Amino acid sequence: MAPVEKKFVLTHIAKDISSLKEEGWRYSKLEKHFGVFWKVKVSRKTDYLSLYLHCLHPKNEGSWSIQVSFNLKLLSVTGKTTDLTSKRRFINKSSSWGWPEFMKWEEMEKDYMIDGDVIIEAHFLASQSSEFKYLFFEYAKEQPEIILNDVDSKDFHYFLECLYGEDSIDEETVAGILKIADICNAKIPLQKCEQFLIRDSGKTFKEKLQLANRFKLDKLKNECLSKINTAAEIRSVLMCNLNGMDPSVVGALLQKTLSLIPFT
C-alpha cells in the first residue's frame, strides 16, 4: 500500500542578506510541526551561501528521534529555482543539517537576491513512529518489508492522517488508529486517541476501560474510575467476562461497591 504523503512548508525571507559577514548566520522564526520546533539557518562560508534545516530537541523528552525528508529551495522573481534534497535523522539533541556550499555567493546575488533579500523555502515530511524509524534506519541495508498483519487499509490511512497532524480521530476510527499506533509504537497518535477518549468520546465506561486495558492507557483508565460512582455505573462495567479485565480496575470497582453498602 502506497504511503499517504503529508508535507509542510517553511517560507523564510532572509532580509539584507548582502550584509551577511563571513561565517555569519541568520535564523528564520521558529515553527512547530509534529510537536517539534523547526527553523531555517542561513550563513555565509567563504564564497558560498550555506543553507541548513535546524531541529530543536523537545523539552522533557528522553530518548528521542525524528526522521525527515527535506528539500531546501531558493526562489527568484523570474520563477527560477535551485534546490537540494536530503534525508536526515535528528536524534536526542538539537542539531542542523544542510549544505555549507549550497550555491556560489556571486550566483545567489546575481540570480536570486531581490533588494538585498532572498526567499527560501523548506519542504519536508517527517515521521515519529519509533518502530518505523528503527526499521528504516537500523536495517536499511537489508531493505525490510514492514508487515502489519490483520490491519484494515482504512485504519492505516486514518493512522497516517493522525500521524501527520490531521484531525482523523472519531468514534468510528479511534480503535483502529490505536491498534496500529500500538503496533508501531507511535507515541503521538496514542496520546491523541487517549485525549479524544477522555474529552470528547461518547463511548460507555465499559468500552473505554476495555480500550484502556488493551492499549495500556493509564490516564483514560484513571479518568473513568474517577467518574464511576453509582451502583448502575459499576454494574454496567462488571457485567462482562472479568477474566479479560484489568485486575486493578476490578479491584477498584469492587472497593467502590463496598463503599455504597450501608452498614448498621
Same domain, 103 and 22: yes
Same domain, 104 and 29: yes
Domain boundary residue, one of 79, 107, 142: 142
Same domain, 37 and 132: yes
- CA 217 – CA 196 distance, rounded (Å): 12
Same domain, 16 and 121: yes
Domain boundary residue, one of 142, 174, 209: 142
Same domain, 138 and 192: no
Is 1 part of a structural domain of the chain? no
Same domain, 15 and 102: yes
Task: Determine the pLDDT at residue 58.
Answer: 64
Same domain, 24 and 77: yes
- CA 24 – CA 44 distance, rounded (Å): 6
What is the four-CA torsion angle of 101, 105, 107, 109, rounded to 10 degrees?
A: 140
Give the residue among 110, 125, 123 at the shortest CA–CA distance from 49: 110
Task: Write out the three cell numbers for 261.
Answer: 453498602
Task: Determine the pLDDT at residue 135.
Answer: 41
Is 3 part of a structural domain of the chain? no
Is 133 part of a structural domain of the chain? yes
| Number of independent structural domains in the chain | 2
- CA 110 – CA 49 distance, rounded (Å): 13
Same domain, 30 and 125: yes
- CA 211 – CA 214 distance, rounded (Å): 5
Give the residue among 104, 99, 97 at the shortest CA–CA distance from 46: 104
Task: Determine the pLDDT at residue 3.
Answer: 39
Domain boundary residue, one of 112, 142, 172: 142
Same domain, 100 and 179: no
Is 194 part of a structural domain of the chain? yes
Task: Determine the pLDDT at residue 88.
Answer: 74
Range of the domain at 33: 8-142
Angle between helices 187-199 and 218-227 (to 10 degrees): 10
Task: Determine the pLDDT at residue 202.
Answer: 93
Same domain, 46 and 133: yes
Same domain, 38 and 134: yes
Q: Helices in the chain by DSSP H: which ranges?
A: 105-111, 130-133, 153-163, 174-184, 187-199, 205-215, 218-227, 231-238, 247-260
Q: Are 176 and 155 in contact (CB under 8 A)?
A: yes
Is 72 part of a structural domain of the chain? yes
Per-residue pLDDT of the chain (264 residues; tens, 9 = 90+): 333 345 678 888 888 888 888 878 888 888 887 667 889 999 998 889 999 988 887 666 555 667 777 888 888 766 788 888 877 777 666 678 889 999 999 999 988 988 888 889 888 765 545 545 444 444 333 434 445 567 777 887 788 777 666 678 999 999 999 998 888 777 878 989 999 999 999 999 889 988 998 899 999 999 988 888 888 888 877 776 666 677 787 778 777 776 766 655
Is 252 part of a structural domain of the chain? no
35: domain CATH number is 2.60.210.10
